[in-house]
Amino acid sequence: MMTMKLLLVAVELACLVSGIFSFGSETLSQLSFLENGVVSTRPSSSQPQPQPLMVDLTLIQGAHSKGAVCLDGTLPGYHLDRGFGSGADSWLVHLEGGGWCNTIRNCVYRKNTRRGSSKFMENQIPFTGILSNKPEENPDFFNWNRVKLRYCDGASFSGDGEDESAQLQFRGQKIWLAAMEELMSKGMQKANQALLSGCSAGGLASIIHCDEFRSLFPESSKVKCLSDAGFFLDAIDVSGGRTLRNLFGGVVQLQDVQKNLPKSCLNQLDPTSCFFPQNMIEHIETPLFLLNTAYDVWQVQASLAPPSADRLGSWNECKSNHANCSSSQIQFLQDFRNQMLSDIKDFSKSSQTGLFINSCFAHCQSERQETWFADDSPLIEDKPIAVAVGDWYFDREVVKAIDCAYPCDSSCHNLVFNFK
């Protein structure tokens, strides 16, 4: 049974990733860029790996009465592994990623997948990386209560509307609130330490909900937030357009996201601009750590050089493997890195913020064991990601780790895509 599930996941991954090349911007929001399973150029040790902990899905009973439902109206869900020992009263809440839906058509498609309906979610998922229960894999958070909140609304847990004719529920904000209420009732209200994290669209959500998360706990509790691969840039694509801004604009308008964006940002900028982390982070008061690659492959594939902006396919080889990029394409990517570093300049000045910006061609590094904490994990100044995050969370060190520009980092796990 497990082999069949793994096969199905692999097939889905291949279909989703190949969609980058098969479809135009209309379908960008369907892309998941699943956190695990993409080929790495630097395979991990050949030693047999321990089997990860498998954690059951729990549906939030009573969520219907709160209007907290997935796109198709089914109950939202989460996976919880209880903490123990010194971590019994510490909580890590991790928000799942998986793209967005920006049109009725895309959301209708999405509601027939695990990104829009709990009917299609796995009954069990592996807890690896920051969710692992093994100290040798997750040194600082292994014995915490660890939760993965499943993503089934298509707007980074921030929408609040519906479309009756298409039978679509845009209830991301209500899912967030119902999940927090449920977790508080299961012991999170007693947390003396808490960390809100997320990957990709979930990484964006961890920024959006960071201050809300802080407000759940007394001042005496240590509460911080981690955004992994969630720093999406409002960048110009290879054709001179703004593919990701168009996508985000559709999400914000369709799902009434503006209701749940920082009011202080909306007083200065339009709602779509306030959905971009570069404009949002200055309004977040809770300590926040940004874990991102300077050459995020999702943004390269779907924002900088999507098929709609690269109609002749001149970026296809470069997108599948950065080793195939021309000097002019590398320069375009260096400009993208420079924009990111410029956008976090003020953010990085605060003593309570943290940074780990490496020069890898990757996406989502906290959930994958090989990138979070392993013998050959990515390093900046000899420090792996798990140690950097732990040092920052526990105030052991100030962490402002910014890698030198590509191709300086030989520790990367660069993602390579095979579309043959």
Q: Judge whether 395 counts as a catalytic residue.
A: no
pLDDT at residue 1, as a whole number: 39
CA angle 76, 174, 124 (to 5 degrees): 20
CA contacts within 13 A on the Cβ side of 8: 10
Q: Judge whether 320 counts as a catalytic residue.
A: no
Q: Judge whether 296 counts as a catalytic residue.
A: yes
Q: Residue 395 in 3-state DSSP?
A: coil
Instruction: Give the H or E element holding residue 176.
Output: helix 172-185
Enumerate helices (H) and strands (E) in the chain, giving the number of each: 15, 14
pLDDT at residue 38, as a whole number: 42
pLDDT at residue 417, as a whole number: 84
Residue in 132, 197, 200, 303 annotated catalytic: 200
Contact criterion met (CB below 8 Å) for 229 and 293: yes
- Residue 140 within any structural domain of the chain: yes
- Residue 28 within any structural domain of the chain: no
At position 175, the amino acid (one-letter code) is: I
Left if phi > 0, otherwise alpha if psi is -120 to 50, otherwise beta: which for 329?
A: alpha
pLDDT at residue 98, as a whole number: 97
Contact criterion met (CB below 8 Å) for 412 and 14: no
Q: Residue 281 in 3-state DSSP?
A: helix
Given the structure tokens 């069949």, which residue do they identify? 4
- Residue 283 within any structural domain of the chain: yes
Per DSSP bridges, beta strands 383-384 and 379-380 are: antiparallel
- Residue 108 within any structural domain of the chain: yes
pLDDT in tens, the chain (420 residues): 333 333 333 333 333 333 333 222 233 333 333 333 344 444 445 566 779 999 999 999 999 999 999 999 999 999 999 999 999 999 999 999 999 999 999 999 999 999 999 999 999 999 999 999 999 999 999 999 999 999 999 999 999 999 999 999 999 999 999 999 999 999 999 999 999 999 999 999 999 999 999 999 999 999 999 999 999 999 999 999 999 999 999 999 999 999 999 999 999 999 999 999 999 999 999 999 999 999 999 999 999 999 999 999 999 999 999 999 999 999 999 999 999 999 999 999 999 999 999 999 999 999 999 999 999 999 999 999 999 999 999 999 999 999 999 999 999 999 988 754
Cα separation, 243 vs 248, in Å, equals 9
Q: Which residues pair with 357 in a beta bridge?
A: 292, 402
| pTM higher than the cut 0.85 | yes
Residue in 296, 310, 343, 409 annotated catalytic: 296
Domains contained in the chain, number: 1
pLDDT at residue 119, as a whole number: 98
Q: What's the domain range around 284?
A: 52-402
Closest among 340, 353, 333 to 398, alpha carbons compared: 353
- Residue 416 within any structural domain of the chain: no
Angstrom distances, CA of residue 38 to CA of 150, 320, 361, 374? 20, 11, 12, 17
- Residue 33 within any structural domain of the chain: no
- Residue 46 within any structural domain of the chain: no
Q: What is the CATH number of the domain that holds 317?
A: 3.40.50
The DSSP secondary-structure symbol of 356 reads E
- Residue 37 within any structural domain of the chain: no
Residue in 79, 283, 322, 363 annotated catalytic: 363
381 CA to centre of own chain: 24
Cα separation, 98 vs 104, in Å, equals 17
